[in-house]
Structure 1
């Protein structure tokens, strides 16, 4: 009997020792958000950690990866993406998702000036799949589809003096938000502008010239949606136009376009590139 007890204690010692070592091993976080399915490790200035068997991460880490907009006030953070709005409060086990309350299994807290939130809850609210295995958490986004066709890339061509620059975005979550931004930026329907020219250098006062092009491509590289953005050359002492004109090729229709949206698109494109979901495809600037 004594030998059995000793053996059992030894076994428990091994288990507890292994558990202790396991607990000290950092949790690695990665995203399968690229349209090619490749996983990208997510950097964080505050390492993910386990609380109540839930992986906690700085909210900025997951919000940036998902392309969500963040609003922070007092002790509350609000994440917004599309029609989904999530509100979390420090020290509270209650979250609000689109006005419905949800009880959390892990309470948000502050660590080294970073608000830590439950990763699985936030990711799943925004339609992601979460898998935890061997101290690695993998968050997988769904492909974004337009009319049932998966988008493989968003191309942004920006016109500059004497050339253009083409950049791409290949992150599912970013592509989805970019499409929503463009569609939401449409204003009233307008007639095709008179006096369009192919580039700024040829534009006289009153002419419209290309400002940017937006393209959503399928897996074969063909365009699913194409938009041309134009602006007007005006005299230095004239007030700004106040809006852009957008041509939606799939509709063969012109729209007024919100003046802030092109800059929101550039900002989001920059975040995507910083997170490993895009870069420069072509630079035709002399």
Structure 2
């Protein structure tokens, strides 16, 4: 009788543990422009709203995040969001709004409502099963939709070619080229992929950025060149440190070091969140 009673208890325990009521909630998967975003913090549903890590969603949409005493500031082009954790009051371009789900901190991450951030930055959100898909629309250059951006850089021995998905990030990088491009200049006397010190005032290509259409054709290519500083500073006086080559139109421009830094950071962001795919790597 005792064995029969224990058997009944075991069956009941198994039935309860396998019940849908006690099943673990399926994590929310975030897709941005068709790419499953990699994140070290899981998104979750709270008060019927999808909450995502602030830095992940902001940077994946090409925005910059800054923490200050006044709160958190998220900026992308002419759109700026200011908020504080645990406050449902948020300021967008100077206009105060009330969120239906206040940001909060969990495991060291600030969680924010996905739909508000996506739509504020001009993207749509669609839900299906446990997937939240954010669609930002394609970058258009010369009346052509851009499918991907190919990034190439070289080292002493070999080079790396990577392909970047993500409409929002591609658009943010393209905007950075436009925003930080200076006046036109003549092509330098010496420039190449190689870091050589044989010619005074020579430039090496720090990176190649090629915006491609759906068929893989180049619509716009920019190359960033940096001055080789292997000479005393007085000998290089008057030479710009960074140049931009518009390969498509074969024109040269001054380019800011800040622009170079911003683009490099966005490439790192794309790599961190899974938007970059290595096409080839010949680095020894």
| TM above 0.5 | yes
Q: Which residue of 2 aligns with 1:33?
A: 33
How far the C-alpha of 1:183 sits from its partner, in A, is 1.5
Alignment deviations for residues 154-183 of structure 1 (CA, whole Å, 9 cap, x no partner) = 122213224332222111111111111111
Unpaired runs of at least 5, structure 1: 1-19
**1:230 and 2:196 aligned:** no
How far the C-alpha of 1:137 sits from its partner, in A, is 2.5
**1:151 and 2:146 aligned:** yes
Alignment deviations for residues 54-94 of structure 1 (CA, whole Å, 9 cap, x no partner) = 22222123113223210112362121122221112223322
Q: What SS is found at the alignment partner of 2:75?
A: strand
Alignment deviations for residues 220-273 of structure 1 (CA, whole Å, 9 cap, x no partner) = 111111122223334343277662111113343211111133333222212212
Q: Which residue of 2 aligns with 1:117?
A: 112
Q: CA RMSD in A?
A: 2.7
How far the C-alpha of 1:278 sits from its partner, in A, is 1.1
Kindly indicate whether the alpha-carbon contact (under 8 Å) linking 1:75 and 1:90 is maintained by their aligned counterparts in 2: no
Closer/same/farther in 2, CA of residues 105 and 262 from structure 1, 3 Å limit: same
TM-score (norm 1): 0.80
Given the alignment, which residue of 46, 49, 59 partners 1:50?
46
Paired with 2:177 and 2:258, the residues of 1 have a C-alpha distance of 11
Kindly indicate whether the alpha-carbon contact (under 8 Å) linking 1:57 and 1:117 is maintained by their aligned counterparts in 2: yes
**1:261 and 2:259 aligned:** yes
Closer/same/farther in 2, CA of residues 208 and 114 from structure 1, 3 Å limit: closer
Alignment deviations for residues 6-51 of structure 1 (CA, whole Å, 9 cap, x no partner) = xxxxxxxxxxxxxx939962441321424xxxx5155342441222
Paired with 1:104 and 1:167, the residues of 2 have a C-alpha distance of 39
Paired with 1:121 and 1:185, the residues of 2 have a C-alpha distance of 29
Unpaired runs of at least 5, structure 2: 1-19
Alignment deviations for residues 109-143 of structure 1 (CA, whole Å, 9 cap, x no partner) = 22333222111111111122112343443222322
Closer/same/farther in 2, CA of residues 110 and 199 from structure 1, 3 Å limit: closer
Closer/same/farther in 2, CA of residues 73 and 252 from structure 1, 3 Å limit: same
TM-score (norm 2): 0.81
Kindly indicate whether the alpha-carbon contact (under 8 Å) linking 1:169 and 1:175 is maintained by their aligned counterparts in 2: yes
